[in-house]
Structure 1
Amino acid sequence: MPDVTYLGLTESALSQLGGLWTAREITQQPAMLRETQALLMARRSEIETFLQPLLALPTLRVILTGAGTSAFIGQCLAPVLAARLGRRVEAIPTTDLVCAPQLYFEADTPTVLVSFGRSGNSPESLAAVELADRLVKDVRHLVVTCNADGALAGYAQRSRGLTLQLPEATHDRSFAMTSSFSCMTYAALAVFSGVTVLDGRVDAIARATERMIGDYAGVMQAAAAEGYERVVYLGSHIFQGLAREAGLKLLELTNGALVTMFDSPLGFRHGPKTIVNGRTLVVVFFSNNAYTRSYDLDLLGELRRDDDAARVIAITAQDGVGLARSDELSVQGLETADDAELLFPYIVAPQIFAFFQSLRLGLAPDKPNTSGTVNRVVQGVRIHELS
């Protein structure tokens, strides 16, 4: 029986390279998105019973929280959910909530704390929900996790909360979060948009993500071989959160060997653009919104005129960017989709690029930090008593 392949490499080769879990978890994302939607549909009544009375409160505050990649989920979703719900939706990392709870929690504001956690065992995750219970008079917990045995899942079950346990395969075993990120993001988007709303869209999103992996894994492998020393990810509004996640994946999987930066196309001009030189790759996530896209195009035109970057790549669902064909990563089938639906196919190219950069540097993508000072679940955090 022939070896199964992931990202063009066989299972046996990936095992020897220490990258089997990372490659498998990147590749499984289309299937996991479909499984996540099926899970949400099965629990639709329970989800609606929990959320509908809360969303009816005109003063409701929704806080999207997590640490690291889990925090970036909130940054990707907060603007679009605020617009859809007509409620106050904020992305505040647990790492902020825990170190300065007096600045973030509001005692008299009814609050839903949405906690994201791959393992649900990060010290800050549990501390954040405990502080919320202590400092907010009316708080409810929605936990989105990939680990049924995590402390966070157990806490929500014991409190006035709801735990959304995602498919077991999304509990990524690799160091870097990939399918856990995309599926927790999808789950929150679906739950707050209406579970049935995305039921008719999940196949298009999954197909587009699948095609991105199939069409551009080789392109990303070749880009990794070009030896860039600096990589910049740029995106407007919700894509700025995605740019931050893309940069973190590269930093994690290369064990900090490459300089990474994220920003918005408009913000990039205000000083950060000084990072660009002849060894810099710039990647721009393009919006489908015509107005926002005009700013993305302006920045792209400026980068081309500057001619300082080694390479500029556009990830786009619409034609008309104007780069060479090899520098346009085209998402198929979502040309008229809402930008939130593009989060899922857009992120896979940076994930694949980071994976091949890790291999190029002789690292094991499943465990790239050779010193053991950075871990899959954060260690060494001491939670101080709040007087």
Structure 2
Amino acid sequence: MLEALTVASTAEQQAAGYADTLREILQQPQTWQGTAELVNRPEVARVFAHALANKPAHIVLTGSGSSMYIGESIAPTLQAGLAVPVQAIAAGTLLTHWRGVLPPGSGLLVSLARSGDSPESCGVVSRLLDEAPGWRHLVITCNAKGKLATLYRDEPRVDVVVLDERTNDRSLVMTSSFSNLLLAGTGLLRDTASALQLDAQSPLAENAQRVFDRYGDAIAEIAQRPMTSAVYLGSGGGIGVAHEAALKMLEMTGGKVITLAETFLGLRHGPMSSVHPGTLIVAFLSPDATVRGYEIDLLRELSRKGLGLGKLIVGEGIPADLLDERDVAIELQGLGTHGEVPTLLAHVVVGQLLAFFRCLQLGDKPDTPSQGVLTRVVGEFAIHGAAP
């Protein structure tokens, strides 16, 4: 099915409403190479080094929607690599309650944004520049013309990195922007960011291309089942990808598929009750063998209880006994070779394709789902006075 969609003419793709989204999903292996090359340029490496000058006491990653989930995805990798507390806090929460959630004192706030034009984006940076002057700022964005990239050019406490324009997705949903911002965010690790090393780009691209070439039809098939809800499971940074994949499904189906993102261990504590006969279980397995042991135990429990419509399991070394005739395994090799980030990127691609195919199955248009409800960039709203 994926091949048939790609060989259709541009006019046919546009008429069916998927031209931008499909192009932006499929271009990711190439754009990852470009992002790695960009972050390895001396002038960009100096920007990251400047942001980390004097080793900040805390690092907070922020954004809205998908951009927030990028922060969730890479926070554990950055904390392990930098030996500094790193957490993700939604831009909306910082806008309204920064005094209660931002660590006291000084630190580095990393704003992740596709457009950089959402009201919260500049609202948070401007407020904290005034009211939390001890905090430095690093902006990573896909839009050179966005407010985040242009408004603070004369502010010495703000550094900006702009990714290639191709990553500034035209589709309503974030796809290549999400994965490239995720990859670029690990530039804070500089020389120790193994996923950003140029020799790591071939395995990254090969795994994504394997998803497209070998598993595209299987993902399309499972998306055509009578799915009413989907539960996405991840551990560590994988919970950020689970949140993002759940959001992609929700956005692209206009809420026709109800979604939930949870950790594997957290599912037992109440959320398992939401797994019904029409629920697809999407499991993003960790590259860490110990963590994967917990995840596999949970999946076996779901099988014993006969829960769900079926399982879509993504990972390496997937045990055969986890699968029955309803399940699909996406087996990818060498995911843990360069840390957790390559695993997260592979999982992201699967989540994007699943939502894309489900959207088409429901007769909707991936480029403009939820017409009249959602917009590519959140519209302007009032930024009110100082947060309590």
2:171 to 171, 174, 177: 174
1:217–1:9: structure 2 CA closer, same or farther, 3 Å change rule?
Answer: farther
SS at match of 2:369: coil
Deviation at 1:191, TM superposition (A): 3.4
Deviates more, 1:153-162 or 1:250-259: 153-162
Structure 2 counterparts to residues 54-73 of structure 1, below 5 A: 55=52, 57=54, 60-73=57-70
- Find out whether 1:344 has 2:349 as its counterpart: no
Structure 2 counterparts to residues 147-158 of structure 1, below 5 A: 147-158=143-154
**CA distance in structure 2 between the aligned counterparts of 1:64 and 1:177, rounded to whole angstroms:** 18
1:107–1:243: structure 2 CA closer, same or farther, 3 Å change rule?
Answer: closer
Deviation at 1:294, TM superposition (A): 0.7
1:177–1:284: structure 2 CA closer, same or farther, 3 Å change rule?
Answer: same
**CA distance in structure 1 between the aligned counterparts of 2:260 and 2:139, rounded to whole angstroms:** 30
SS at match of 2:137: strand
**CA distance in structure 2 between the aligned counterparts of 1:88 and 1:294, rounded to whole angstroms:** 27
1:232 aligned residue: 231
Deviation at 1:264, TM superposition (A): 0.4
SS at match of 1:120: coil
Deviation at 1:55, TM superposition (A): 3.8
Deviation at 1:324, TM superposition (A): 4.7
**CA distance in structure 2 between the aligned counterparts of 1:279 and 1:48, rounded to whole angstroms:** 48
1:241–1:274: structure 2 CA closer, same or farther, 3 Å change rule?
Answer: same
Number of residue pairs matched by the alignment: 380
1:102–1:136: structure 2 CA closer, same or farther, 3 Å change rule?
Answer: same
1:49 aligned residue: 46
**CA distance in structure 2 between the aligned counterparts of 1:8 and 1:331, rounded to whole angstroms:** 26
**CA distance in structure 2 between the aligned counterparts of 1:243 and 1:8, rounded to whole angstroms:** 30
Deviation at 1:313, TM superposition (A): 1.7
SS at match of 2:178: helix
1:347–1:17: structure 2 CA closer, same or farther, 3 Å change rule?
Answer: same
**CA distance in structure 2 between the aligned counterparts of 1:113 and 1:47, rounded to whole angstroms:** 18
Deviations, residues 290-345 of structure 1 (Å, cap 9, x unaligned): 11011111101101101121101210123435325861111234354422221111
2:84 aligned residue: 87
1:121 to 97, 117, 120: 117
TM-score normalised per structure 1:
0.93
**CA distance in structure 1 between the aligned counterparts of 2:313 and 2:60, rounded to whole angstroms:** 32
Deviation at 1:96, TM superposition (A): 0.5
1:172–1:41: structure 2 CA closer, same or farther, 3 Å change rule?
Answer: same
The question of whether the paired residues in 1 share the 8 Å contact of 2:108 and 2:135 is answered with yes
Deviates more, 1:303-312 or 1:67-76: 303-312
1:59–1:321: structure 2 CA closer, same or farther, 3 Å change rule?
Answer: farther
Question: CA RMSD, aligned part only?
Answer: 2.0
SS at match of 1:95: helix
Deviation at 1:5, TM superposition (A): 6.3
1:105 to 99, 102, 105: 102
SS at match of 1:101: helix
The question of whether the paired residues in 1 share the 8 Å contact of 2:48 and 2:190 is answered with no
The question of whether the paired residues in 2 share the 8 Å contact of 1:6 and 1:24 is answered with no
**CA distance in structure 2 between the aligned counterparts of 1:324 and 1:10, rounded to whole angstroms:** 38
Deviates more, 1:376-385 or 1:223-232: 376-385
**CA distance in structure 2 between the aligned counterparts of 1:9 and 1:316, rounded to whole angstroms:** 31
The question of whether the paired residues in 2 share the 8 Å contact of 1:216 and 1:349 is answered with no
The question of whether the paired residues in 2 share the 8 Å contact of 1:208 and 1:331 is answered with yes
2:379 aligned residue: 379
The question of whether the paired residues in 2 share the 8 Å contact of 1:142 and 1:156 is answered with no
Deviates more, 1:74-83 or 1:179-188: 74-83
**CA distance in structure 2 between the aligned counterparts of 1:333 and 1:287, rounded to whole angstroms:** 12
SS at match of 2:153: helix
**CA distance in structure 2 between the aligned counterparts of 1:383 and 1:327, rounded to whole angstroms:** 46
User: What amino acid maps onto 1:355 in structure 2?
Assistant: F
Deviations, residues 1-25 of structure 1 (Å, cap 9, x unaligned): xxx9655655343211111000110
1:5–1:240: structure 2 CA closer, same or farther, 3 Å change rule?
Answer: same
- Find out whether 1:136 has 2:137 as its counterpart: no
**CA distance in structure 2 between the aligned counterparts of 1:192 and 1:329, rounded to whole angstroms:** 30
2:26 aligned residue: 27
User: What amino acid maps onto 2:385 in structure 1?
Assistant: E
User: What amino acid maps onto 1:214 in structure 2?
Assistant: D
SS at match of 1:119: coil
1:210 aligned residue: 209
Taking only the aligned residue pairs, the percentage that are identical comes to: 34
1:10–1:266: structure 2 CA closer, same or farther, 3 Å change rule?
Answer: farther
1:192–1:58: structure 2 CA closer, same or farther, 3 Å change rule?
Answer: closer
Deviations, residues 205-238 of structure 1 (Å, cap 9, x unaligned): 1221121122222111111111210101001111
User: Where does the alignment leave 5 or more consecutive residues of structure 2 unmatched?
Assistant: none
1:223 aligned residue: 222
The question of whether the paired residues in 2 share the 8 Å contact of 1:60 and 1:88 is answered with yes
